[in-house]
Amino acid sequence: MGETRGRQAAGWIERLRGLTVPVPRPGQVAVRVAVVTDSAAALPEDWLARFGAGVRVVPMPVMIDGQIYTEGHDDVATALATGLATGAKISTSRPAPGVFARTYRELETAGYAGIVSVHLSSRLSGTVDAARLAAEDIGIDVRVVDSETVGMAQGYAVLAALEAARVGAGVDDVTAAATVEDPGVINFVVPSLDQLRRGGRITLAASVLGTLLAVKPLLTLSDGHIQIREKVRTESRALARLVEISRDEAVARAERTGRPAHIAVHCYGNADRAQEIVHELAAYAAEEVRVVGLPAVLGAHTGAGVVAVVVA
């Protein structure tokens, strides 16, 4: 029933280390807190499996020529690939408030005392608003967190909340773990800006720049918006700069936080180049760098061939 808009003083990695998450004392009954997110977080299923029933992922609808596909329930990957190749009309939508309400009530019935619901940037989608509307009618404490980002940058905030919940933290601490002061950085390269323009994620001027001048912009998510970070003449150079920038950000984050950065590489198509980037960034990461496929709700806007790097 509450909501979170601002940033907390402590970063999520400190909570992962257990520095501020209270561990229940022997005999103390921990408050059971569930974590909800949306499919834009791009979290691999095997990562979520270790958290059991305490995590739910609400799928985001993708519309292709007027037909609605739901990730995880329909063969949206095949339909999207075909739609992109044939120039179909493709759009996405926020989940309906009723979908969130049903998820929250299921968790309430299962005995959870609180829910922390972590979602993609409100400047990219109305998902946060839908979650807040649903939370108003739930009998337990539901906190809605705007991650202000997307992809695994959002996913790492979700993982932080899950780790806090797993050690018995209450709703306040799980919310604080997900409310990242220094969120992950996501930079990416797309072969064409057309799909982003059609979805209203970049301006017409930026799209024309890329088309007429044969520029391959290096894009970033800043303040919840997709923006051009650098203008590069060729795709190969743009991908090389993506590696350079990601390496520099990983080093800077390690110096700032005192621990190696978490790095994930997204792709929708272009898997071979994504794997090459994994090898180039492996030495700068806290753990194994993994290629994580972009979910359909994001691939619908970027188009095929996108490669992105998240540093968190």
Q: What is the DSSP string of 83-119?
A: HHHHT--EEE-PPPHHHHHHHHHHHHHTT-SEEEEEE
In this predicted structure, the answer to whether residue 178 has a pLDDT above a threshold of 70 is yes
Residues 107, 110, 114: CA angle, nearest 5 degrees: 50
Q: What is the DSSP letter of 180?
A: -
Give, for 216, the enclosing helix (H) or strand (E).
strand 216-222
Looking at the DSSP bridge assignments, the partners of residue 189 are 218, 307
Check: CB of residue 175 under 8 Å from CB of residue 116: yes
pLDDT value of residue 254: 96
Could you give the CA distance from residue 34 to residue 100 in angstroms, rounded to a whole number? 13
Neighbours of 261 (CB within 10 A): 25
Mean pLDDT of 202-231: 70
Q: pLDDT tens digits for 17-72?
A: 332 334 444 444 455 999 999 999 999 999 999 999 999 999 999 999 999 998 87
Q: Is the pLDDT of residue 166 over 80?
A: yes
- Segment 186-215, tens digit of pLDDT: 999 988 777 576 655 555 444 444 454 567
Distance CA 49, CA 207 (A): 40
Structure confidence by residue, pLDDT tens digits, 77-114: 899 999 999 999 999 999 999 999 999 999 999 999 99
pLDDT confidence of residue 164: 96
* Region for 139 from its dihedrals, namely left if φ exceeds 0, alpha if ψ lies in -120 to 50, beta otherwise: alpha
At 174, the pLDDT band (50, 70, 90 cuts) reads very high
Mean pLDDT over each residue of the chain, to the nearest integer: 86
The pairing of beta strand 225-232 with beta strand 263-268 = unpaired
